Amino acid sequence: MTGLRLLTLAILFAQACVARPPAIPPAPLALQSVSLPSSGPTPTGPRIFLHAPAALAGHKARWIGDRQHPEPALARLLGEARKALAEKPFSVAEKTVLPPSGDKHDYLSLAPYAWPDPRKPDGLPYITRDGQTNPERDSISDHAYFSRIVSVTETLGLAYYLNGDESFARHAALLLHTFFVAPATRMNPNLNFGQGVRGKENGRPSGIIDTSSIARLVDGVGLLLDSPSLSQDDRDGLFGWFRDYLTWLRESELGRREGQAKNNHGAWYDVQVVSLALATGQVGLARETLQFAHKRRIGRQIDPDGSQPEELQRTKSWHYSIYNLQAFVALANLGDRAGVDLWRYQTSDGRSIRKAIDYLLPFALGDKLWTTEEIGGFKPEALWPIVREAAFRLQDSQLAAAAARLGGRQEDRLWLFVE
């Protein structure tokens, strides 16, 4: 009889434990030591934050199991990586126009939509023509070079992780060393002179959008960490640069003002802060920024009907609605890695990332006509990566069906990050 009572009590105790959920869900295993390690993958795949590590690891396993039949996206990636091996080292120090500081290591770019004032003999100060890019912007190469170092690092990092060819990692290490580490060529970790306007401003808060793709750079470096080609000095130099740039983003006047932006600039600012915080082990900062994004970004930049009012005011309204939503997708993906749910978050009056997707879908699918100004031409296919990513993250069959209707090339790189 005593044994029966003990057994009954044990069963009741076990049931109570199962029924009682934890007050605060534990952080994902990979975030227990979130700073990028010197080598080796996380328990769930490679050390990346912007995309799902397990999905990429699954594609690698399939490739290893059948190297005769690479997926179209992988075949294209490897081809691009082989071409990238011919890329010569480059840096912001190559420019011939010196920034106002006189230091060629300081990043310098011109505002894309700033044009000479035709009413002034010297054209100064420049005036804004929204959505119309002034070709003068390309006279200074820093913005193109930063985009290029992000792109080539991501390409070579992915190719190295998936294929294991050390030549990819070795070349990526050379390019990264030149751009961020070598004293003679490195970029200073600031954007004090980003998107200047001639005759008006040497640099603007909105210039910080020039580094909006830095989360891809962080992941590209993370994919290289298992390689002996990336020396410890270069690892230290890269992560030191990440930490210093994050500090500049948060503490400089330009950075603080950009963080207050109410349109896509503010969302992309958060993407940069969160990705750099995760890369450098500052998990608390990453989570705080993501939690704040619930109301500051989703709650302010998306209307209850799903429209994005700040972006609809632009002369390229479709383009910027997509661009802002891309930032929200990036934030939500980073949130998955940091234990903060943005994908399913909804305000009391119905504002959400999903609602923003649903607002744009009928236009992309041809069920509605986009009547807001779009001088760049309406491109419905631009929504496909967002819808496909959302279908994967939310495990949503309706979004998957919509993505199928939108199309999407099988060689698109996104396929390597979804299952």
CA distance 391 to 401: 9
CA distance 201 to 16: 64
- For residue 125, is the peptide bond before it cis, meaning its omega torsion is within 30 degrees of 0? yes
Contact criterion met (CB below 8 Å) for 258 and 205: yes
Strand ranges (DSSP E) for 303-359? none
3-class secondary structure, 115: strand
Structure tokens at 225: 């960490």
Beta carbons within 8 Å of 293's beta carbon, 6+ residues apart:
267, 270, 331, 342
The tens-digit pLDDT sequence of the chain (419 residues) is 444 343 333 333 333 333 332 322 222 323 333 333 333 344 457 999 999 999 999 999 999 999 999 999 999 999 999 999 999 999 999 999 999 999 999 999 999 999 999 999 999 999 999 999 999 999 999 999 999 999 999 999 999 999 999 999 999 999 999 999 999 999 999 999 999 999 999 999 999 999 999 999 999 999 999 999 999 999 999 999 999 999 999 999 999 999 999 999 999 999 999 999 999 999 999 999 999 999 999 999 999 999 999 999 999 999 999 999 999 999 999 999 999 999 999 999 999 999 999 999 999 999 999 999 999 999 999 999 999 999 999 999 999 999 999 998 999 999 999 98
Q: What is the pTM of this model?
A: 0.90
CA distance 3 to 213: 64
CA distance 203 to 110: 8
Contact criterion met (CB below 8 Å) for 301 and 263: yes
Would you kindly state where each structural domain of the chain is located, as residue ranges?
85-260, 262-419
How far does Cα 415 stand from its chain's mean position?
A: 16
Do the two domains 85-260 and 262-419 of this chain adopt the same fold? Answer: yes
End-to-end CA distance of the chain: give it in Å, rounded. 54
CATH, domain range 262-419: 1.50.10.100
Residue 374 phi, psi (nearest 5): -150, 90
Beta carbons within 8 Å of 100's beta carbon, 6+ residues apart:
193, 202
Answer left, alpha or beta for residue 252, where phi above 0 means left and psi between -120 and 50 means alpha. Answer: beta
Q: Which CATH class is domain 85-260?
A: mainly alpha
